[in-house]
């Protein structure tokens, strides 16, 4: 009897704990079975469904004909090749995406002087013009980030809504942090101070200033064993891990969404999403360097961070907890003016890799086996 009671006292807590876990997690097998590529998430942490605004009205082929916006209006420096009707259609959509509240500082008035729509007196109009150029550049020249593999966004592209979601300034952004005024005493230098920016890990809270602008190498392993050549310091490695934690949280995925835990560094064992991410990092750098920071003194003080630099983008700005922004919804199909024209200025080289695996359909991943 005593032995039975002891056995039950050990088994009962385990059963109770197991019962607590039932139905609380969702699992998605995204690679070969047994390869450790499952995505596991708690149901309570899954982001809510995104709001996808419908077009105010249908853009018909007839509306895309007729006099151009440049012929009809003054000072149209971007989108001037559109018909006046398509231009108005696109402007109305942008107004709803970025500044939906009507009034003195909302709607069309957010960027324009209603008494002189052609005027550039409001800084918001200059910024919006630059952002339109950026959006068209992303859709035309950074397709490797969102349509390289069959798992990617199917070429959904981006619109202003992707980041703004009805707010003048996207909710998720970053800017450089000020040095700690306490000096070395009591200054943790960003260490062991869990922050949401790096998924609450005890890693540097700002890996973005070093890695999401400029051209610094993102790596945790040196390419040589000789210290006289290139060496990855612990500090640089920690920033790389901080960025990876941010990407994992920003996309709502595990590390194995891109990497194979058998060998995190190996490209040949990685999923195609790692290539998408490689291009995505360089796309973010292009946005921060050539569009946001490039505006320089156009930014007023209220749009700058504590260190005086403008608020910039990172992965969460677009993704907001989903591996595909807006769940992969293709809003771009309704706004062809934002597609842009391909050119060679932004197209980056292919990522350095030993080999890329062929994309494997998720449905077939359960039974497929890698080649010997």
* 242 or 195: which leads in pLDDT: 242
* 32 or 150: which leads in pLDDT: 32
Instruction: Classify 207 in phi/psi space as left (phi over 0), alpha (psi -120 to 50) or beta.
Output: alpha
Could you read off the pLDDT of 218-232 as tens digits, one per residue?
888 766 677 666 667
With 60 as the cut, is the pLDDT of residue 47 above it? yes
Residue 197 binned pLDDT confidence (cut-offs 50, 70, 90): confident
Could you read off the pLDDT of 301-340 as tens digits, one per residue?
999 999 999 999 999 999 999 999 998 889 999 999 999 8
**How far, rounded to the nearest angstrom, does the alpha carbon of residue 369 sit from its chain's CA centroid?**
32
Residue 335 near residue 134 (C-beta atoms within 8 A): no
Could you read off the pLDDT of 111-161 as tens digits, one per residue?
999 999 999 999 999 999 999 999 999 999 998 888 754 444 456 889 999
With 70 as the cut, is the pLDDT of residue 49 above it? yes
State the pLDDT at residue 370.
34
With 70 as the cut, is the pLDDT of residue 13 above it? no
* 162 or 23: which leads in pLDDT: 162
Query: Mean of the pLDDT values across residues 7-18?
Result: 54
Query: Mean of the pLDDT values across residues 54-81?
Result: 94
Residue ranges of the domains in the chain?
26-364
State the pLDDT at residue 78.
94
Query: Which architecture characterizes domain 26-364 according to CATH?
Result: Orthogonal Bundle (1.10)
Query: Mean of the pLDDT values across residues 269-289?
Result: 93
Q: Which residues contact 67 (CB under 8 A, 6 or more apart)?
A: 83, 84
- Which range has highest mean pLDDT (197-211, 213-227, 350-364)? 197-211
Distance CA 316, CA 305 (A): 18
The pTM (predicted TM-score) of the whole model is 0.81
**Least confident piece of the model among 116-130, 174-188, 232-246, 329-343:** 174-188
Distance CA 178, CA 59 (A): 47
């Amino acid at each position: 009897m005593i032995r039975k009671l002891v056995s039950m006292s050990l088994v009962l807590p385990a059963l109770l704990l197991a019962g607590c876990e039932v139905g609380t997690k969702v699992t998605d097998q995204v690679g070969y079975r047994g390869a450790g590529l499952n995505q596991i998430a708690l149901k309570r942490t899954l982001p809510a469904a995104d709001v996808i605004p419908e077009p105010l009205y249908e853009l018909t082929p007839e509306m895309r004909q007729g006099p151009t916006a440049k012929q009809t209006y003054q000072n149209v420096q971007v989108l001037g090749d559109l018909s006046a009707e398509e231009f108005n259609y696109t402007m109305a959509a942008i107004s709803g995406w970025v500044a939906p509240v009507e009034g003195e500082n909302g709607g069309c008035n957010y960027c324009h002087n209603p008494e002189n729509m052609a005027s550039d007196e409001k800084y918001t109009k200059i910024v919006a013009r630059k952002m339109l150029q950026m959006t068209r550049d992303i859709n035309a020249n950074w397709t490797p980030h969102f349509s390289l593999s069959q798992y990617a966004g199917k070429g959904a592209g981006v619109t202003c809504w992707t980041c703004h979601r009805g707010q003048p300034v996207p909710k998720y952004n970053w800017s450089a942090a000020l040095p700690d005024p306490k000096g070395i005493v009591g200054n943790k230098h960003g260490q062991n101070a869990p922050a949401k920016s790096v998924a609450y890990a005890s890693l540097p809270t700002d890996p973005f200033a070093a890695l999401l602008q400029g051209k610094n190498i993102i790596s945790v392993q040196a390419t040589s064993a000789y210290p006289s050549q290139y060496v990855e310091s612990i500090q640089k490695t920690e920033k790389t891990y901080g960025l990876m934690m941010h990407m994992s949280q920003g996309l709502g995925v595990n590390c194995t969404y891109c990497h194979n835990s058998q060998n995190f560094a190996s490209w040949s064992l990685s999923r195609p999403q790692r290539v998408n991410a490689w291009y995505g990092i360089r796309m973010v750098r292009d946005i921060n360097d050539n569009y946001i920071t490039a505006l320089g003194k156009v930014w007023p003080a209220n749009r700058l961070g504590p260190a005086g630099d403008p608020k910039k983008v990172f992965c969460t700005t677009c993704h907001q907890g989903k591996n595909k922004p807006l769940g992969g919804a293709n809003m771009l199909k309704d706004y062809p003016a934002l597609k842009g024209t391909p050119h060679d200025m932004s197209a980056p080289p292919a990522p350095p890799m030993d080999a890329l695996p062929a994309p494997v359909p998720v449905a077939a991943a359960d039974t497929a086996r890698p080649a010997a």
